[in-house]
A and B are shown apart, each in its own frame.
Chain A
Amino acid sequence: MKRTHGTGRTHHRRGSLLAEGLVACIILGVAISMLVPSLSAIGKQRQSVRFDSLAMIELNNIADMIRQQHLQPAEVQISDWFSHRYSEASLAVELLPNDDEATKNTLEALRLTIRRPLWESMPDQTVSIVIWRATEEPAP
């Protein structure tokens, strides 16, 4: 940076001005303020992926239990390990209509859904699967 004095001489100033440092600091501050929400979003995304995977394992456990033990939808509950991890999660079991004439009386479809509320203004996170099982009493 050069400055010309009234004498016409050019003066080379050493060191840097406080203002320059402040500008650099402000720019860095803006960059960091953009970075922090991104890091937070990465953390939330990681939690979301983990929930997806673990909920799928739990749904497969429940599906296996329903098939093997012929439980009614109302009797099904979330396992202890899953409710310890996600105490706010809930399970819904829904009987779906089977319109296929060939399997109408022998198979029934169930939709299993695990839902967990997310932070404010975000829709709930849901993971669901549909399973088929033989009806207990086939029609004559």
Chain B
Amino acid sequence: MKRSLYTSARKKSLRCGAIFHYYLAYVTLVSSILMMTGSVLHTILQSDQTDRQVSMFLHSLLRCERTLRADADAANPSVDSDSALTLTQEDGVQIHWAVDRGILTRLETQDGKSLSSDRFIFPAGSRIEMKTRDDGATVLRFSEPSAFVKYSAVGSGGVNRNKAVEEALPPTPTAAAAQPVTEIILY
């Protein structure tokens, strides 16, 4: 009688509720699954953002190159400063290319009247320089945004473009932080 009472009490205590280490294993598994899911989502979103920036840069660059070469076929370019370029056609039409941080503007004028204008918006953090080389070629130099600097998400074309939100600390060595460059050369 005594034995049977003991056995039934033991059985009852074993099957009542969940065992502690089940909970522990459950929590560990769930947290690791959540962590993996979070990191995968983060990678996907980051990849999407990079894709958007690269696509924006290449689209603007190719459109700019096509337009600039077409302009240069009709007139010789002359660099006014490192941020301005003028092409004067035979019929008196002047085409001004000007850089304002990451935005390149093309303005077509004749006798002081504006005929047309176009804008090429590059991602925040891009730099554009214009110069004339020793051999007489005109060079437009495009530097892509640094991978070590975080720019505002609304930077491209917005009021705070090229304004860094975060920078790597300590500062990245110059050689590693060099921004990739693309050059359009007009001979």
Binding site for B on A (CB under 8 A): 11, 13-18, 21-22, 24-25, 28, 32, 35, 39, 42-43, 46, 49-50, 53-54, 56-57, 60-61, 64-65, 67-69, 79, 81, 84-85
Contact = CB atoms under 8 A, between A and B. Distances in A.
Contacts of B40: 32, 35
Given A39-B43, A64-B186, 9 more contacts: A25-B29, A25-B33, A46-B50, A53-B62, A60-B65, A61-B183, A61-B184, A81-B182, A85-B180
Given A16-B26, A17-B22, A21-B25, A57 B181 contact: no
Contacts of A42: 47, 51
B36 A32 contact: yes
A53 B58 contact: yes
Chain B: interface secondary structure? Answer: helix
Contact of A15 (B26, B29, B51, B141): B26
A28 B36 contact: yes
Given A49-B58, A56-B62, A65-B187, A25 B22 contact: no
Nearest to A56: B62
Interface residues of B, number: 36
Interface string B47-74: 1001100100010011001000100000
B129 to A, nearest CB: 12
A50 B32 CA distance: 36
Nearest to B11: A5
Contact of A24 (B18, B33, B69, B180): B33
A32 to B, nearest CB: 6
Contacts of B43: 39
Contacts of B184: 57, 61
A-B pairs, top 3 by smallest CB distance, nearest first, are: A15-B18, A68-B187, A21-B29
Given A15-B22, A53-B61, A79 B183 contact: yes
Contacts of A16: 22, 26
Nearest to A21: B29
A61 B33 contact: no
A22 B187 CA distance: 66
Contacts of A53: 58, 61-62
